Amino acid sequence: MHKCNWMNRTMLALLICSILLASIPAMASYPKTFTDTQGREITLDKAVERIVTRSPDEARIVVALGYGDKLVAGEQATKSCLCPMTFGNTTEGCKECYETIIDGRMPDLPEISTRYDIYFEQIAALKPDIIFCGNLKDAEAFEDKIGCPVVVLGGQGWNFGDDGYFNSIRVAGKALDVEDRSDELIAFVKGKVDMIKSVTDNKKPDEKLKVYFASRGASNAFYDPKEGRDFTRTEPKYDPLTMAGGINIASEINGSTVNVALEQIIAWNPDYIFISNSDAGNNTGLEFIKNSPDLASINAIKNGNVYNCFYPHCRGTPPDRNLLNMMYMAKMLYPDDFKDLDLEKEGNEIFKAFLGVDGVFTEYADYLVWPREYLDSLK
């Protein structure tokens, strides 16, 4: 009798131990090897504890995968691009996000590069375990001058496909031993995309609206000679617009981020025009385009269908703001189909998934002003 009780207790203890062990994530063994988005073989000798990122896009993935506490330095614009802020001015923008993200360290995060320059000695002094960057040229420079493992993530934050941004997330997940989390993030983004496409994919070609997307805004009217862009700059391949059910009238142009002639835009005669705007309370570009005599013959102008939209760039292509554009454009193009889509709720969920902070879209909409005015008009 005593022997049976002892055996039962032993079997129960073994069962409990097996359940507990099964619930503990498997620890990666080192060294380990994987390939980055460029097919380069990367070997890590130990778990990553210190991370440097070349641009805000890579920093955003690191934060989204739960490794923001390991981020020891980033590019200059990381401070204004993750939590949308006025560049170089930390008093305007999503201040609560800025002050709480990565355990409140964002204001003091070392800046190890700018748009043009990389400070290699400063990076070496930080002794990173890994550097994430966006292109092969930077990777080769880091490997030559720093020597630690360098992983190219790349990928445009509006290319929501397995060969695009999702691949970047997967590679980062492998590097950081959080592949389950990377799968969850991809599933989250796919869920938002599918929510929109479940409606727009069913629209017949003659039901879809022609759209011109001014991806660089219009703050300097038609063309800014200094930056070589503004209203005449567009994106022939912009997934959020096509997913939203719009016909991108520039889609037959080869390449990406191109300037087109004003006469071409007039000839295309879009039904809608979206103008990227990241300037708080500034509608100068929008009003200029709406009232331009040169564009008066365009249907979008005649019917009053010219609108601000979220800026798709920020030293990269932030996926959170490009997901917002997909939802916002869908609501503007097909208001009856998406009347129940709560843009503020969805926006807060999207920013929370990438930044780990609550209420960022609410703060962002108030900062930009035009989203808040639009949202208030729906009440």
Given 3-state DSSP classes, what are the helix, strand and coil percentages for the chain, each rounded to the nearest 5?
45, 15, 40
pLDDT for the residue 25: 46
Position 24 scores a pLDDT of 45
Sole residue written with tokens 């709480």: 100
Q: How many CA atoms lie within 13 A of 310 on its CB side?
A: 29
Provide the pLDDT for residue 9: 60
Residue 67 phi, psi dihedral angles, 5° rounding: -110, 20
Residue with tokens 């991108």: 248
252 to 157, 261, 330, 370: CA distances (angstroms): 21, 15, 22, 31
The token duo for 374 is: 């639009």
User: How many helices and strands, by DSSP H and E, does the chain display?
Assistant: 16, 15
pLDDT at 7: 54
> What are the boundaries of each domain within the chain?
32-177, 191-377
Domain 32-177 identical in fold to domain 191-377: yes
The CA-atom distances, in angstroms, between 205 and each of 114, 199, 246, 327 are 44, 13, 10, 20
The pLDDT, as a whole number, for residue 377 is 95
Tens digits of residue pLDDT in 92-105: 999 999 999 999 99
Residues of the chain whose pLDDT is less than 50?
A: 1, 21, 23-25
According to CATH, the topology of domain 191-377 is Rossmann fold (3.40.50)
Q: What is the CATH number of domain 32-177?
A: 3.40.50.1980
Q: Which two tokens stand for residue 23?
A: 């619930």
Q: How far apart are CA 176 and CA 163, in angstroms?
A: 20
Beta-strand relationship, 85-86 and 89-93: antiparallel
Q: How far is CA 213 from CA 118, 141, 154, 235, 362, in A?
A: 33, 35, 23, 7, 24
Distance between CA atoms of residues 309 and 289, nearest Å = 14
Q: What is the pLDDT of residues 237-274, one digit of tens each?
A: 999 999 999 999 999 999 889 999 999 999 999 999 99
Q: Has this prediction a pTM greater than 0.85? A: yes
pLDDT at 292: 96
Give the per-residue pLDDT at 220.
Answer: 87
On the 0-12 / 13-18 / 19+ scale of CB atoms within 10 A, 41 is: exposed
